[in-house]
Each structure stands twice: as structure tokens, then as C-alpha cells.
Structure 1
């Protein structure tokens, strides 16, 4: 599928029914456009099956609750909507985006209790998020923006508003010829990339930041369990910036990123080593099992 995302053939599920792609629209006074009252999920369908689909649907509902925005659908109904979209478009391998938001209604201010919570599910065919980085290793910038204190944001929600600094950081990285940016957290610890969690390897052990102020990704959780099954020690902890120099390998995880090797972060270089390759291979096998 090619072309702008608002001008394509196909079907999108919206508020309980399938509509033509170009007709999936919202009003300019939609609350989410003004106050970021929106949550979403990114999922991948492999050979006709969405990986961890129900977990994604449950997290969407949880994100809505965290934003005081109860979503008027059950997990089963969200599952049915996703399946309907894939079937209507004839896709067995696709990226799936489920989205819920506060729409236009009687309120047009910060408070919006009287506005309806709406939902849509779209999907499209999407290749590797980082292009050829899966072979060579992605090049990462170091972002100037930091993941906020969890006392200031609902960090366990996959909320659209929390990605503002991610977009800014990724734009700055791309302007430098990088694929993405690594972010520190509000304390100065290594946190994550703009849309993916991060892992490091040193002397046969894996180290990954403790997700106490950013989203504990489903792919991250999957990879940690894979490593434990491989009898590889995983250290979930706070990682200081100066430790980057001593790590040998690095990779990113996420639904879009899958498992993507990292070749460099700023001035620090990493090899696309055997463990990174093994994890990427095992993940690919798992999602297609």
C-alpha cells in the first residue's frame, strides 16, 4: 500500500462499523486534537495471527482508564474489530493500530466528561521500521528531551500526548542522519528510544533499564522471558550514561521495531553480535509460531 495515509483504498473500523478508508474522519473540535485525550496500540499480524493480540486490547482499555477515559468496548469486541479490519482488507501480514479518543461533544475545554469516547481500528502493510538497520545496526542520536517523572504523567498508559517529545527527538535525530534517538529519564538514567525499549550486552549478560517511568513494552517483556528461557541473565536496573562505553552489543524492541540491532548511540559503537542475532531470530520464530 502506498500514498498518503488519508488517501488510500480499503476499510477502517470506526465506532462499530467498517467504513471506507477515505471516510474515516473526525471533526476539527474533537477533544483529542486539542487536549491529547487519546490512547492507542500498535500491533503486528504475522501469517494471519496478531501477536499478543488480547494483551494489546487489554492494555488499550487500561490506558483509557488511566486517562479517566473509559473505552466503551470489551476485549472481545476489540478483538472482533481487529479481525474484521484484516479480513476486509485481505491482509495476513500487517501492522494494526487500535485507537481510542475523546470526540467532539458538549464540552470544549480541559474537562470533557460529556463528550463521547470513540474508537477506531486501522491496519496497513508495513515493512521494517528501521529499514536495513536489522542487518547493519541502527544509528541513534542522544535526545535532549527526557522521559518525565511518573508523578507528572500516566507513564503506564500508551497515550498519544506522551509521544510529543518522542516526535521532536526523532526529527532531530533524522536531521543528523540517524534512525532514532535514545532518551534519558528525568534523573539522567538511560531510558529508551522514542518508540522502543533498549537492551545492552556485557560479558554474556543482558542489561536493560528498569521501566519505572516509561512503558514496559509487551515486546520487551517477551524478549526478557526469551532470554531467561535461554538461561541468559537479565539485569533490569538503572543504567548510567557513562556505562554505554562498556557495553558490547545493543538492540531495540517494540512491536514496530521488533528486535533491531543498534550499531551506535552518539559516539558509542556496538557490534551486531551473536546474541543480538540469536534474539532477533528467536523472536521472528516466536511471532510466526
Structure 2
């Protein structure tokens, strides 16, 4: 499958039924398009099995509740929809995107309580998120934008509106020849990349930012567990930007990114070392098991 995402063969699950890919549309006055009342999940499937599928479905419902978007489907129904759409498209290895949003209805202002909540699930083939950076080490810019305070927005929801500064930051990074961009948070601590959490290595131990103002990724949690199983000390803590100079290795984690080593952040360079390679290979083996 290739080409523009609105012009492909296949089907998409929408509100309980399979719809031709090109007909899976919404009205221009859909509330989510104007006011970002939308939450989503990105998942990867290998050999017909979606990794941590139920956790993603549970998080989708939790994200909706944080935005006052009560999704009228159960975890079991969402699970069934994901596997139905994969089967209908003949996919065993796939990227799966579930998205819920406030649709068109009686409300077209900030309020949307009278509008129905809709749900769609699409699946397609998708290779490495960072291309060959997975082997060479990704190059990151440092964003001018900061992850906001939990007092300003529901930072732990996987919500469409939270990705606005991610898109802007990634465009800037790509214009500089980088793969992605690193955010600081509202206090000045190292936070995350535009769609992935970040880890650092120093003296055989791992350091990763405390996810108190950004998403605690499912891949992040999985990798921490893998490191602890290997008796590797993991420090979840606030990291100052000036500490970047002292770290030896670095990698990103995310459902799309999986585990991608980082070779450079701004003026700081990192080795694509043994620990980064090992955890990347081990994660690939885990999700394909």
C-alpha cells in the first residue's frame, strides 16, 4: 500500500462497520477538526498479533475521559475492530491507528456535549519510523517549544491537540537535516521527542526523564522492564539539559519508533553503543515473539 493516505485500496472500520478506504470521510464541520476534540492510539502488529493491544485500547478510553470525550465502545469491542480491519485488509504486519473524536452535531462552538463521539480504526504497512537512523543513530534538533504544565492541559492523554507543537518542531528539525526534535518541559528539564520517549546511558546505568508532564509511553514502560530484567539500574528523574554532555549513549522509544538509537542532539554526540543495540534488538524480538 502506498500513495496519499486518502487514496488507497482497502477498508477502514468506522462506527461499527467496514467502509471503503476512499469513502471513510467526515463532514467539514466535524468538531474535532475545529477544536481538537480527538484522541488516538498507534500500535504495531507482527505475525498477526498487535503488541500490548489491550493496553492501547484501555489508554484510548482513558484519554477520551480526560478530554470529556466518553467513547461509547468497550475495550473488547475496540480489540475486535482492530483485528477485523487487519483481516479485511489482508495484513499480518501492520501499523494500527485507532482514533476517536467529537463528530458533527448540534454544537459547533467550543461546547460539543450534544455531538456524537465517533471511532475509527485503520491499518496499513509501515516501515521504520526514522528510516536508517535505527542503525546509524538518529540526529535530533532541540525544539524552541516546551512541554506544558499539567495545570494547563491534560498532558497524560494521547490527544491530537498536544501534537501541534510536535508537528511544528519536527518540520523545523527536518529542515535542518534532523530526524526529530527534543523538547524541554515548562521547568527546563529534558522531556521527550515529538513522538517518542528518551533514554540515556552513563557508566552502565540508564537515565530517563520522569513522565510527570508528558505521556508515559507503553514502549517506554516495556523497555524499563526489560532493562530491570537485565539487572540494569534505571533512574527515572529530572534531567537538566547541561547533563546531555555527560551521557554516552541515547535512544528513543515509541510504538512507531520502537527502540531507535540517537547519535546526536544539537551539539551533543552519542555512541550507538552495545546497550542501545542490545535493547533495540531485544525489543524487536519481543514484539515479534
Task: Compute the TM-score of the two structures, normalised by the length of structure 1.
Answer: 1.00
Deviation at 1:225, TM superposition (A): 0.3
Deviation at 1:77, TM superposition (A): 0.1
1:216 lines up with 2:216 in the alignment? yes
Alignment of 1:70-149 (within 5 A): 70-149=70-149
Distance in 2 separating the partners of 1:202 and 1:6 = 45
Deviation at 1:288, TM superposition (A): 1.1
The equivalent of 1:36 in structure 2 is 36
For 1:33-85, what per-residue CA distance to the aligned partner results, in whole angstroms no more than 9, with x for missing partners?
Answer: 00000000000001110000000000000000000110000000000000010
For 1:2-46, what per-residue CA distance to the aligned partner results, in whole angstroms no more than 9, with x for missing partners?
Answer: 110000000100000000000000000000000000000000001
1:259 lines up with 2:259 in the alignment? yes
Distance in 2 separating the partners of 1:121 and 1:92 = 15
1:233 lines up with 2:233 in the alignment? yes
Distance in 2 separating the partners of 1:223 and 1:43 = 16
Distance in 1 separating the partners of 2:105 and 2:213 = 33
The equivalent of 1:195 in structure 2 is 195
SS of alignment partner, residue 151 of structure 1:
coil
Distance in 1 separating the partners of 2:199 and 2:34 = 35
For 1:149-184, what per-residue CA distance to the aligned partner results, in whole angstroms no more than 9, with x for missing partners?
Answer: 010010110000000000000000000000000000
SS of alignment partner, residue 226 of structure 1:
helix
1:67 lines up with 2:67 in the alignment? yes
Distance in 2 separating the partners of 1:21 and 1:44 = 20
SS of alignment partner, residue 76 of structure 2:
helix
The equivalent of 1:53 in structure 2 is 53
SS of alignment partner, residue 146 of structure 1:
strand
SS of alignment partner, residue 8 of structure 1:
coil
Distance in 2 separating the partners of 1:210 and 1:156 = 12
Structure 2 residue runs of 5 or longer lacking an equivalent are none
Distance in 1 separating the partners of 2:150 and 2:89 = 39
Q: Which runs of 4+ in 1 moved over 2 A?
A: none
Distance in 2 separating the partners of 1:275 and 1:112 = 48
SS of alignment partner, residue 145 of structure 1:
strand
Distance in 1 separating the partners of 2:179 and 2:47 = 27
Distance in 2 separating the partners of 1:259 and 1:226 = 12
